[in-house]
């Protein structure tokens, strides 16, 4: 099918280990020439969008901050809609606090615990502190629930494991903001006014990208780059609409050229 619009995962789909994946720039240029709108959706909670834009620019891909829809943005919208005023924000990049500037960021008596990936800062003390806030009535709002990601050092455990621990210990389910939550995909494509069934999502994660696309009623393309693993594909009951080796294969697969 030829898409009316496209949503792209970033890490593992557009770039990997600090380098653009071969064919990424050419595919995006082709979409621009064909006047097919696209945006990037990411669960990245380790850096603000402006840092992502700078990082991609250094790799050779020039995009604007508005081209990216990230999980922190969805968390902000969620907390706004819930009417929260006081939140505890647990993220590794302290600059992300700027995205939550309309809230009072507190360490005591939060209405919500907003959690992103803390990397090596995930300690027993931190998890136990968050656990006690949840027991006291704070809602656990997780920016995503990814199980792992692929870093320069190999596969790395992600925030999802710690979210599961907090859910198990507290008996409370977290509200998940990022992929595979359908809201992230729908919010990212809202301005296009294009039916979900005509939007194609491209990503390397069968759980967050492919399942998320399905949850949103969109078409999915799984790329065999980034964190893709054959065993995850074969062990999953999630079925992508298309499977390709990399983003470079998109034009032939979707009849873009």
The span from the CA of 174 to the CA of 196, in Å, is: 26
Q: Give 117-174 pLDDT, tens digit per residue.
A: 888 889 999 999 999 999 999 999 998 888 887 667 778 888 899 999 999 999 999 9
What is the topology classification, in CATH, of domain 5-43+179-253?
Answer: Rossmann fold (3.40.50)
Q: What is the rounded average pLDDT of the residues 194-214? A: 95
pLDDT value for 164:
96
β-strand pairing of 219-223 with 199-203: parallel
132 vs 30: CA distance, rounded Å: 51
DSSP-H helix ranges across 116-229: 124-135, 159-170, 182-189, 211-215
Q: Decide whether 5-43+179-253 matches 72-176 in CATH topology.
A: yes
pLDDT of residue 145: 86
**Model's pTM, two decimal places?**
0.81
- CB atoms inside a 10 Å sphere around CB 135: 12
pLDDT digits (tens, 9 = 90+) for 28-85: 999 999 999 999 999 887 778 888 999 999 999 999 988 999 888 889 989 998 999 9
CATH 3.10.450.50 assigned to 72-176? no
Residue 86 banded pLDDT, cuts 50, 70, 90: very high
DSSP 11: B
pLDDT for residue 257 is more than 80: no
The pLDDT value recorded for residue 228 is 86
Domain boundaries, the chain: 5-43+179-253, 72-176
């Amino acid at each position: 099918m030829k898409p009316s619009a496209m949503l792209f995962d970033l890490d593992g789909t557009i770039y990997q280990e600090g380098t653009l994946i071969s064919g990424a720039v050419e595919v995006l240029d082709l979409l621009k020439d064909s006047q097919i709108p696209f945006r990037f959706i990411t669960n990245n909670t380790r850096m603000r969008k402006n840092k992502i834009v700078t990082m991609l620019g250094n790799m050779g891909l020039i995009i604007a901050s508005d081209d990216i829809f990230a999980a922190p943005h969805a968390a902000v919208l969620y907390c706004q809609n819930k009417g929260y005023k006081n939140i505890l924000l647990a993220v590794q990049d302290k600059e992300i606090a700027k995205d939550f500037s309309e809230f009072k960021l507190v360490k005591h008596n939060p209405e919500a615990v907003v959690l992103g990936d803390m990397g090596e800062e995930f300690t027993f003390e931190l998890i136990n502190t968050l656990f006690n806030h949840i027991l006291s009535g704070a809602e656990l709002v997780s920016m995503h629930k990814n199980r792992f990601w692929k870093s320069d050092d190999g596969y790395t455990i992600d925030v999802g494991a710690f979210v599961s621990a907090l859910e198990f210990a507290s008996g409370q389910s977290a509200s998940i903001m990022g992929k595979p939550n359908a809201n992230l995909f729908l919010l990212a494509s809202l301005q296009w006014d294009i039916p979900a069934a005509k939007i194609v999502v491209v990503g390397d994660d069968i759980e967050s990208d492919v399942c998320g696309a399905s949850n949103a009623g969109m078409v999915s393309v799984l790329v065999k780059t980034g964190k893709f693993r054959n065993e995850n594909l074969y062990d999953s009951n999630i079925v992508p609409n298309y499977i390709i080796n990399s983003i470079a294969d998109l034009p032939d697969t979707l009849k873009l050229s």
